[in-house]
């Protein structure tokens, strides 16, 4: 059925030349093309056309929805989440208030290992139901494509269980979902003194089975002091490349881990987190096609310093923003709040922040051909806002739910 959405106050994030832009880098990120007083035509699945109200189409359509001054923008693409987990971890949140650090909690066997214990006890149906509820909550907040990682299993059976849950979400969610294998999220306690034994399990047991069942699109490693070193990360990325799994890695959250360098060396699609960055890491990204995916929700929740977005963008790097939704460092997936964090804490402009949550998020999941902008031939998935004065009002009026409705291509 052809639907004409008319009287759109601002049609934000358009691409006139059918989906030309795969990604926006550096100064291009400031440009967020838009039409004021616009219409949009879809067949429910794809965007067919759009334009100014002065030139309403003469093409026939089946129904008209008069949006009466609402604005429209592409759905958010959340390119980094840990949406499948068994239990919340508010006790650690309270422990941090009392002075323990995220790192200290992890060293005591809490953190990721705490989530792994709970996940090992949970069955697939329970994990699926929980994750789907979180996904639905995210959809209502405008998220229309998502990446989900494993990494709370930490043994072959439980990692496969998580990835099967993600596969089921992929099959049933109705929005694009990408799966990332993160068996290298933490060393289980029994391997703390024998890293190579766990690396061998990942390489010899997990990866072949995952590849065999086609359970993952990407390979992730938590490259961090106290977790996986740059050398260990290289060993894992070498192995995963044999199965065609492109890297998207956790890098430089707590320390200069060498994660950015090893990610770029192995052509990572993105390196994610980047709270701790020196000039060397910025220069390394500057000369690469790797996307810098910043997760300000985690910096906010762990009360850490924010990522150097300005420095990265000014150096010409492509920056994406993602939620990092997980029970430890960011128990929420509200991409709208990220816009505000990006603007107030990282001095990104509203246009840069919106591009980072749409076009560059889509690029970080290799979904640029179907998501990330209002372009002819892309999926008809978009956010209809309450009346707003323009794009800057979205990060400005933080905490208010400015979403009237989200339309998903089905």
In angstroms, the CA 248 to CA 266 distance is 10
| Helix residue spans in 9-73 (DSSP H) | none
Q: Which residues contact 364 (CB under 8 A, 6 or more apart)?
A: 77, 79, 80, 147, 248, 269, 270, 291, 293, 320, 322
In the bound complex, which residue of the shown chain has the CB atom lying closest to ligand NIG?
A: 328
Stretch that binds ligand NIG, among 110-118, 123-131, 234-242, 372-380 (CB under 6 A): 110-118
* Angle in degrees, 0-180, between the axes of helices 335-346 and 350-357, rounded to the nearest 10: 140
> Which of 42, 143, 323, 326 forms a contact with ligand NIG (CB under 6 A)?
326
In the numeric block, which tokens belong to residue 18?
Answer: 């059918």
Ranges within 186-225 binding ligand NIG (CB under 6 A): 222
39 vs 222, beta carbon nearer Fe ion: 222
Min dist. Cβ of residue 152 to Fe ion (A) = 11
C-alpha 282/C-alpha 285 separation (Å) is 5
Q: What helix, strand, coil percent values describe the chain, rounded to 5?
A: 40, 20, 40
The secondary element (H helix, E strand) that includes residue 221 is strand 218-223
| CB of 253 vs ligand NIG, minimal distance in Å | 5
**Residue with nearest beta carbon to Fe ion:** 324
Q: Which of 160, 166, 234, 298 binds ligand NIG (CB under 6 A)?
A: 298
Taking CB under 6 A as the binding criterion, the range among 109-117, 140-148, 283-291, 376-384 that sits at the site for ligand NIG is 109-117
Return the number of the residue (116 or 353) whose C-beta is nearest ligand NIG.
116
Residue 296 in contact with residue 342, Cβ under 8 Å? yes
Q: Which of residues 134-163 bind ligand NIG (CB under 6 A)?
A: none
- Tokens found for residue 139: 């959809």
Sort 244 into a burial class: Cβ within 10 Å, 0-12 / 13-18 / 19+. exposed
Among candidate residues 267, 260, 259, 270, the one with its CA nearest the CA of residue 240:
267
Shortest separation between residue 326's beta carbon and ligand NIG, angstroms: 5
Number of residues that bind ligand NIG (CB under 6 A): 13
Q: Is 253 in the site for ligand NIG (CB under 6 A)?
A: yes
- Which of 328, 350, 361, 391 forms a contact with ligand NIG (CB under 6 A)? 328
Partners of residue 179 on adjacent β-strands: 148
* Sheet containing 291-294: order of strands: 76-78, 143-149, 177-184, 218-223, 246-251, 270-273, 291-294, 319-321
Choose among ligand NIG, Fe ion, none what residue 115 binds, the Cβ cut-off being 5 to 8 Å by kind: ligand NIG
Number of residues that make up the chain? 410
Binder among 111, 142, 297, 308 for ligand NIG (CB under 6 A): 111
- On the CB side of 325, CA atoms within 13 Å amount to 23
Q: Is 112 in the site for ligand NIG (CB under 6 A)?
A: yes
Closest separation between CB of residue 376 and Fe ion, Å? 34
Of ligand NIG, Fe ion, none, which one does residue 222 interact with (CB within 5 to 8 Å by kind)?
ligand NIG
**Residue 19 or residue 199: which is nearer to ligand NIG going by CB?**
199
Instruction: Provide, rounded to whole angstroms, the least separation between the CB of residue 288 and Fe ion.
Output: 21
CB under 6 A: which stretch of 19-27, 44-52, 71-79, 319-327 binds ligand NIG? Answer: 319-327
Q: Which residues bind Fe ion (CB under 5 A)?
A: 324
Positions in the binding site for ligand NIG (CB under 6 A): 82, 111-112, 115, 222, 250, 253, 298, 324, 326-329
């Amino acid at each position: 059925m052809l639907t004409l959405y008319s009287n759109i106050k601002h049609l934000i994030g358009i691409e006139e030349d059918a989906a030309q832009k795969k990604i926006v880098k550096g100064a291009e990120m400031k440009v967020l093309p838009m039409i004021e007083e616009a219409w949009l035509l879809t067949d429910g699945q794809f965007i067919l056309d759009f334009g100014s109200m002065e030139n309403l189409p003469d093409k026939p359509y089946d129904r008209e929805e008069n949006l009466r001054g609402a604005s429209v923008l592409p759905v958010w693409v959340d390119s980094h989440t840990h949406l499948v987990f068994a239990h919340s971890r508010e006790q650690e949140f309270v422990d941090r208030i009392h002075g323990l650090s995220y790192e200290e909690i992890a060293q005591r066997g809490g953190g990721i290992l705490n989530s792994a214990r709970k996940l090992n006890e949970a069955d697939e149906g329970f994990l699926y139901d929980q994750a789907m509820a979180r996904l639905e909550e995210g959809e209502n907040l405008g998220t229309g494509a998502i990446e989900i990682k494993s990494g709370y299993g930490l043994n072959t059976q439980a990692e496969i269980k998580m990835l099967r849950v993600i596969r089921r979400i992929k099959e049933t969610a109705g929005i694009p979902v990408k799966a990332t294998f993160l068996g290298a999220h933490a060393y289980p306690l029994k391997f703390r003194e024998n890293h190579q034994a766990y690396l061998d399990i990942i390489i010899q047991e997990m990866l072949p089975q995952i590849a065999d069942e086609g359970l993952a699109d990407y390979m992730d490693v938590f490259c961090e002091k106290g977790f996986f070193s740059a050398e260990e990360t290289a060993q894992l990325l070498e192995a995963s490349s044999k199965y065609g799994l492109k890297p998207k890695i956790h890098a430089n959250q707590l320390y200069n881990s060498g994660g950015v360098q090893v990610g770029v060396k192995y052509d990572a699609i993105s390196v994610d987190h980047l709270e701790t960055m020196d000039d060397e890491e910025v220069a390394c990204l500057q000369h690469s096609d790797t996307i810098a995916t910043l997760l300000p929700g985690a910096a906010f929740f762990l009360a850490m310093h924010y990522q150097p977005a300005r420095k990265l963008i000014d150096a010409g790097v492509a920056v994406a923003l993602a939620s990092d939704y997980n029970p430890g460092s960011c128990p929420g997936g509200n991409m709208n709040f990220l816009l505000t964090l990006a603007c107030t804490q990282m001095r990104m402009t509203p246009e840069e922040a919106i591009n980072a949550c749409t076009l560059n998020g889509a690029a970080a999941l290799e979904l640029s051909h179907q998501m990330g902008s209002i372009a002819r031939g892309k999926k008809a998935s978009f956010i209809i806002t309450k009346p707003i004065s323009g794009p800057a009002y979205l990060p400005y009026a933080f905490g208010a739910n400015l979403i009237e409705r989200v339309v998903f291509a089905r």
